[in-house]
Amino acid sequence: MPAPTSPADLFRHSLRLLLDKDIPAWVALWAEDGVMEFPFAPDGWPRRLEGKEAVAAYMRRYPDHIDLHDFPELRIHQTTDPQTVVVEMRGVGRLVESDAPFDMTYIAVVTVRDGHFTSYRDYWNPLAVQQPGADFTGSSR
């Protein structure tokens, strides 16, 4: 079944793939030249990933560290650009290493072209990654 092409539907589909821990399918939703940015990333964490391969490398080990269970409180807002949405959500689950609860609030600004993510600015809480087991990026912290 092909991925949806509207920004809101593609985003919802991407969340389902994350819950299913299907990172290759999630990465397949990206344009080859897509850019993922983390404006609030702490020191030692990437602030910008350029290209599908960089996004894939960043996300490859995500399910080994964070076991997502749900994305409650999902709100997707349309912008004046029909290809861009602003998303408010929480990701809840557990940290695999410590079995501690994981609860992260996100705001994302996401742009889709031709059914693929081209820009994803992820405004997440950097304080949450100070928990043991939350660092799946191999950062230098």
* 135 pLDDT more than 60: no
Contacts of residue 115, defined as CB under 8 A and 6 or more positions apart, other chains included, come to: 2, 3, 4, 5, 10
Pairwise CA distance, residues 75 & 73, whole Å? 6
Determine the pLDDT at residue 129: 63
In tens, the pLDDT along 39-68 reads 999 888 899 999 999 999 999 999 998 999
* 117 pLDDT more than 90: yes
Q: How far is CA 53 from CA 21, 42, 117, 141, in A?
A: 18, 22, 13, 23
Determine the pLDDT at residue 2: 66
